[in-house]
């Protein structure tokens, strides 16, 4: 089968599409014929060995996928060949086939494309958990979404509106701000402008932000925290800007705000009930067509390097998807 294989931590230009053996089934597993893979900023960091945890070499990148069941282990029930599914795993998705534990996949709801399915799970789980379990978002809250045109940002906009918040999208280009408005944001601001916090203050009527969803990091994170409302919650979910900010400890004291974070990889183990609750609600919303994953550019697997470069350059609108097979 064809697979993107990382033999050494390196730049994406040094990574190749290789012919390797189809992975064998193991007890308790299913083999999926992969149709589409959603990639994010973390996938690029893993290829370079710059993520907090390193995948043992060699490895196949890609954590989110959609496809059909190819084969099922003898001790697995509830799945059969040809059944459309979506799944999430540590790595291994950018290949024709992937073998994962049966509990790593979920049936793909009717009417949802493979590309949309591959764009759904990680971003929407992160955003939902951040908004409900960490930030305790309430109807009427002022919600600021940084990096609003990215994967987590687009999910946070849609979910924030469903939960009754007033959503202010912050993004660096006019195209990204227009994209955020199309997804339902009530207002959009340019956080590259020197006076963007003044505009934010006006948009919130001087109240500040009750909740901040922050997948960006860098200097803008500290500026955003300075605009937090009393009892506001700033939720860190990533560092797409490439640098980890250092928050002066006097700011939470002076602003009366709270800084917290989400590492989705730890949630199933540390808070299994919350993870199941969030997952169940998300799949219900997806099945009811109340959520429409924001699929951005779709690349063929032969062009996987361009997909990673689009992410690294922060050019993406929505989730970047790689189509493995038609």
Is 244 part of a structural domain of the chain? yes
Say whether pLDDT at 76 is over 80.
Answer: yes
pLDDT recorded at residue 63? 95
Interval 167-177 mean pLDDT = 96
Average pLDDT, the chain: 96
Domain count within the chain? 2
Residues 106 and 132 in one domain: no
Is 168 part of a structural domain of the chain? yes
The CATH number of the domain holding residue 92 is 3.90.180.10
Say whether pLDDT at 314 is over 80.
Answer: no
Residues 154 and 230 in one domain: yes
The CATH number of the domain holding residue 161 is 3.40.50.720
Residues 105 and 81 in one domain: yes
227 secondary structure, DSSP code: T
Residues 310 and 200 in one domain: no
pLDDT recorded at residue 312? 84
Token digits for 22?
């189809």
pLDDT recorded at residue 172? 93
Distance CA 70, CA 137 (A): 41
pLDDT recorded at residue 89? 94
Q: Which of 17-26, 68-77, 82-91, 314-323 has the lowest mean pLDDT?
A: 314-323
Distance CA 282, CA 312 (A): 28
Say whether pLDDT at 326 is over 80.
Answer: no
Beta bridge partners of 18: 3
Interval 70-76 mean pLDDT = 97
At 187-234, the pLDDT tens digits run: 999 999 999 999 999 999 999 999 999 999 999 999 999 999 999 999
End-to-end CA distance of the chain: 15
Is 135 part of a structural domain of the chain? yes
Is 275 part of a structural domain of the chain? no
Residues 135 and 105 in one domain: no
Residues 161 and 234 in one domain: yes
Q: Of 225, 250, 266, which one is at a domain's C-terminal end? A: 266
Is 278 part of a structural domain of the chain? no
Distance CA 57, CA 63 (A): 16
Is 277 part of a structural domain of the chain? no
What's the predicted TM-score (pTM) here? 0.93
Is 74 part of a structural domain of the chain? yes
Range of the domain at 210: 123-266
Q: Of 249, 266, 283, which one is at a domain's C-terminal end? A: 266
Residues 110 and 128 in one domain: no
At 95-139, the pLDDT tens digits run: 999 999 999 999 999 999 999 999 999 999 999 999 999 999 999
Interval 310-322 mean pLDDT = 88
Token digits for 188?
């959009």
Residues 88 and 157 in one domain: no
Interval 15-24 mean pLDDT = 97
Is 58 part of a structural domain of the chain? yes
49 secondary structure, DSSP code: T
Say whether pLDDT at 272 is over 80.
Answer: yes
Residues 211 and 240 in one domain: yes
In terms of Cα–Cα distance, which of 314, 289, 296 is closest to 158? 289
Residues 141 and 94 in one domain: no
* Residue 272: partners with Cβ closer than 8 Å, 6 or more residues away: none
Interval 164-172 mean pLDDT = 97
Instruction: For residue 123, give the H/E element and its range.
Output: helix 121-129
Q: Of 226, 249, 266, which one is at a domain's C-terminal end? A: 266
- Please count the CA atoms within 13 angstroms of the CA of 178 that sit on its side-chain side: 3
Residue with tokens 């797409």: 240
Residues 261 and 132 in one domain: yes
Maximum alpha-carbon separation in the chain: 62
Residues 169 and 70 in one domain: no
Say whether pLDDT at 291 is over 80.
Answer: yes
pLDDT recorded at residue 202? 97
């Amino acid at each position: 089968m064809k697979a993107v294989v990382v033999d050494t931590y390196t730049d994406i230009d040094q990574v190749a599409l290789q012919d390797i053996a189809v992975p064998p089934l193991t007890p308790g597993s299913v083999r999926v014929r992969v149709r589409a893979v959603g990639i994010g900023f973390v996938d690029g960091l893993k290829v370079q060995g710059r993520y907090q945890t390193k995948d043992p070499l060699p490895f196949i990148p890609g954590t989110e996928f959609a496809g059909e069941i190819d084969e099922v282990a003898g001790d697995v029930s509830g799945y059969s060949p040809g059944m459309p599914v979506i799944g999430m795993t540590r790595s291994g998705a950018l290949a024709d086939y992937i073998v994962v534990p049966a509990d790593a996949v979920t049936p793909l709801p009717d009417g949802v494309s493979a590309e949309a399915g591959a764009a759904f799970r990680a971003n929407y789980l992160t955003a939902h958990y951040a908004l409900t379990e960490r930030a305790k978002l309430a109807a009427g809250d002022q919600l600021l979404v940084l990096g609003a045109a990215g994967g987590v940002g687009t999910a946070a906009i849609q979910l924030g509106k469903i939960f009754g918040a007033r959503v202010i999208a912050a993004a660096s280009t006019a195209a990204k701000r227009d994209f955020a408005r199309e997804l339902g944001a009530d207002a959009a601001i340019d956080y590259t402008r020197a006076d963007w916090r003044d505009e934010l203050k006006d948009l919130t009527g001087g109240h500040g932000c009750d909740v901040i969803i922050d997948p960006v990091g860098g200097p803008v994170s500290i500026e955003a925290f300075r605009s937090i409302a009393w009892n506001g919650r700033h939720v860190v979910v990533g560092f797409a800007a490439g640098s980890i900010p250092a928050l002066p400890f006097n700011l939470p004291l002076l602003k009366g705000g709270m800084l917290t974070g989400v590492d989705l990889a730890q949630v199933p183990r540390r808070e299994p009930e919350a993870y199941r609750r969030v997952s169940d609600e998300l799949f219900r919303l997806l099945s009811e067509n109340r959520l429409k994953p924001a699929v951005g550019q779709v690349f063929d697997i032969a062009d996987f390097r361009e997909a990673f470069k689009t992410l690294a350059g922060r050019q993406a609108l929505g989730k970047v998807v790689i189509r493995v097979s038609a």
